[in-house]
Amino acid sequence: NSWRTTVPLPNNYPAGTKIFFKVTAVGSNSDISETYKFMYTLKPFEYCAASGENTNGNLYIKRFQLANVDNNNTANNQYTYYDANPIILFKGDTYTATGTFNYAFNASDDFYVWIDYDKSAAFDANENVVANANNVPSGSDTQSSGTFTIPLDTPTHETRLRATYRDWE
């Protein structure tokens, strides 16, 4: 019931490269079966687009704090990508992510944080580490935070974290 490759698919070819391969199965009696050729086209590794708005009266994250990083973003941007100071997290350790927001209307505002643990370029539901739905106090310069632990079985690699703040009224 498990499939393992003896030679991994190469990952050092440019996007658009076509890779052809066959699957060979060896049974418990050393019987061998082989498939026809398969073709796989390498796709670029791209994260899903993130966006927001920067119109008058919109909500935004003014400051994001986690571990060794304190991004104090005073600009009202649609989307900001921080890569100058990576957030350093360790397996098994517990962390608190805190967002400070320009304004919250009425406790219907949400603060979410995801970590792409499997480096799939998607922020899956099981990678949501902070989910504060309808849990942001009303007013100016309000905060919300959540605590999470990095699973011990998390692969060691550089990946992305995404935080969002939104109103679902």
pTM of the model: 0.74
Instruction: Report the pLDDT value the prediction gives residue 136, as an integer from 0 to 100.
Output: 78
Q: What is the mean pLDDT of each run of 10 residues along the chain (169 residues)?
A: 67 84 84 86 82 74 93 78 88 95 79 91 92 81 92 91 81
Under 8 Å between Cβ of 100 and 136: no
Instruction: Report the pLDDT value the prediction gives residue 169, as an integer from 0 to 100.
Output: 56
Strands 109-115 and 69-72: unpaired
Report the distance separating Cα 119 and Cα 155, nearest Å: 9
Query: Which SS3 state, helix, strand or coil, does residue 75 take?
Result: coil
Instruction: Report the pLDDT value the prediction gives residue 128, as an integer from 0 to 100.
Output: 94
Report the distance separating Cα 62 and Cα 165, nearest Å: 10
| Residue 14, CB-side half-sphere exposure with 13 Å CA sphere | 1
Using alpha carbons, select from 25, 29, 32, 30 the residue that is nearest to residue 6.
25
Kindly list the distances between the CA atom of residue 33 and the CA atoms of 3, 30, 37, 61, 106, in Å, as whole numbers in the listed order.
13, 10, 13, 56, 63
Instruction: Report the pLDDT value the prediction gives residue 9, as an integer from 0 to 100.
Output: 66
Report the distance separating Cα 122 and Cα 149, nearest Å: 20
